[in-house]
Structures are given as structure tokens and as C-alpha cells.
Structure 1
Amino acid sequence: MQALCELNYAHVLRILPDCDTEDLRYQFSVGKGLSYEIRIIESARYTSTLSIRQTTQEMPAYLTPSMTVRLYHDARMAEVINSQNTGALQPSYSYPNIKMRQRNEKHMVNIFLAEWLQFCLPHASNVAFEA
């Protein structure tokens, strides 16, 4: 999982080179009717926390992807710490569990982040930011 988090960090920096400034909001579209917002919600010396969500209007909120990602600048890693507003993710889960999470749920959402960043990279030049 460490290699995956390092890859995600490199991809985030390609999309948002100025990711250590708090209270910035980046918006971009990846096609007709498919738009996203990345907000820097916290920034410290060694970490930044991003909120990533799809802002497509035609889709119900519970179906739109959203996640909270922590960037560790000293380790050069990006890790999903919350996905779909379900709370903090544990490293692994026993199965079965009350919330029916997969044993490797944290790893799976980090793979989703990697795939999403790969999908967005060709559109990185379309990113607009607001302070």
C-alpha cells in the first residue's frame, strides 16, 4: 500500500502543484456534465488535508463520490482517510462486521483514488482555483 500512496501523492502534485495553501478550492470538468471540486481544508507544515468530491448536479448526493485525503509531505504519500462520509477507515476489518466493510476496504478506496487521479490527469490543465 505504501507504493500506492506514493503514486497517489505524485499524481495529486501534478494536478495541484500548490497543495499546501489552506482554503483554496480547485474546480474542473472532465467532460460534459462531469465536474469535480478539490478543497484544501487543512494545511500544516508536514501535512495537508483535501476534500475531493464530484459536483455533478443531476446526480443524487449519496451517489456522488467524495473522499478526504491526507497528504504527508515529508513521506511524499497521499492516503484516503474517509470515503463517502463513513468516518475514519481502519487499516483492516474482521469479516463479517456490522457495517459490512470489506477486509481491505482502506486499500480499495486508495486504489479508487489512484484510478480517479489517473482519469483526471489528462484534464489537469483545466483546473481553476478560487481563494
Structure 2
Amino acid sequence: MVRSGPMMHLSPALDRQRAGPSFSGLMELYESNYLFLRRLLPEAEHGLCRVSPMARGAALHAELLESTPYTRTYFLTHQFAGGAALGPEALPALRVRIYYDARVAEVVGRGRRGKARDQGPSLAWRWRANRFLNRWLRFCLGEGHRFDSPVV
């Protein structure tokens, strides 16, 4: 279900169920992901690790992995409390790169570390990963997550 309001609106290209992935649709996803990430991380240039705790539900974590003059790569995940022996569980655990000059953001892999792209540069993988990121970011923003201050 798509929530109402300008922040939660999807364009027709992003919400097509039957249409397959396209380059133009992927670029639109990248732009939308950038806008959602800028709302979630309004001052992304400050701090290495941030936590957005919630009274109900799992805390959202953002860890800065890499920073260059025009890009930043973050590890984003929800931290779920596990059993006493298991410890916390981190899901979905995505590496996301924000390109500030181009105003786009994309999933570049799974987990905290790994290859630049876990599944190769295929259009189908990028479409699935970034469509998931787009929906996850909308969910997080709708739940009230926001990173305002870094964790020391």
C-alpha cells in the first residue's frame, strides 16, 4: 500500500508491476532513492555511525563506510534483538552509495563489506535491489526514522 502525501508518492514508472526493468526506470529509482536518503540523512556529512531508535520496532543503523568529495557509501540496516546466544541480527544490510553531484543513490552491495557489486552490473539485479531500497526507505520514513545526530 502506498501512503499518501508528497513524500510517499511513486511515479508511474516506479510502480509498474508488469513492466520489466528499464534503464530510464532505474535512473528514476536512483533519483527517488537520493531524495529519500536526503530526508533520512539530512546532514550526511557529519558523523560516522548513526542510530535512529524507535519505541516500537527495530532501530535503523547507518554507518559511513567511505567518503569522497562527491560520494558517500553507507551501510544501512535494521538491528533486531536476537536470542541471548544469537545476539542482534542485522537485516536487510545494504551498502548504498550517494552521489551528491548527480543527485542519485544506488545499492552497491549487500553486507558491510564485499565486492563493489555483489551480483554484477546486470540491469535486473540493480532494478530489484534499488526497487527494494526505494520501498524500504519509504517505509522507514513513514515510521518516523531520521538520523539527526551522530553516535560517538
* Coarse TM-score class (shorter-chain normalised): 0.7 to 0.9
Pair 1:82-2:109 in alignment: yes
Q: Which moved more, 1:23-32 or 1:108-117?
A: 23-32
Q: Contact (CA 8 Å) 1:36, 1:56: kept in 2 or not?
A: no
Q: CA RMSD in A?
A: 2.5
* 8 Å Cα contact 1:30/1:120 also seen in 2: no
Residues 43-68 of structure 1 show CA distances to partners (whole Å, capped at 9, x for unaligned) of 11110111111211227677721010
Q: How many residues are paired up?
A: 120
Task: Name the aligned partner's letter for residue 75 of structure 1.
Answer: A
Match of 2:76 among 49, 52, 59: 52
Over the matched positions of the two proteins, sequence identity in percent amounts to 28
Taking a change above 3 Å as real, the CA distance of residues 8 and 44 of structure 1, as seen in their structure-2 partners, is same
Normalised by the length of structure 2, the TM-score is 0.67
Aligned to 2:4: none
Letter in 1 for 2:104: M
Instruction: Give the structure-1-normalised TM-score.
Output: 0.77
Structure 1 match to 2:93? 66
Query: Following the alignment from structure 1 to structure 2, what is the Cα–Cα distance between the partners of residues 116 and 4?
Result: 12
Larger Rg, first or second structure (1 or 2)? 2
Matched ranges for 1:1-131 at <5 A? 1-21=26-46, 23-30=47-54, 32-58=56-82, 64-84=91-111, 87=115, 88=117, 89-92=119-122, 104-122=124-142, 123-125=144-146, 128-131=149-152
* Ranges in structure 1 where 5+ consecutive residues have no aligned partner: 93-102
Cα pair 2:66 2:74 within 8 Å, conserved? yes
Unaligned segments of structure 2, at least 5 residues: 1-25
- Tell me the secondary structure at the aligned position of residue 102 of structure 2: coil
Task: State the shift of 1:124 in Å.
Answer: 3.2
Structure 1 pair 86–114 and aligned structure 2 pair: CA distance change class (3 A)? same
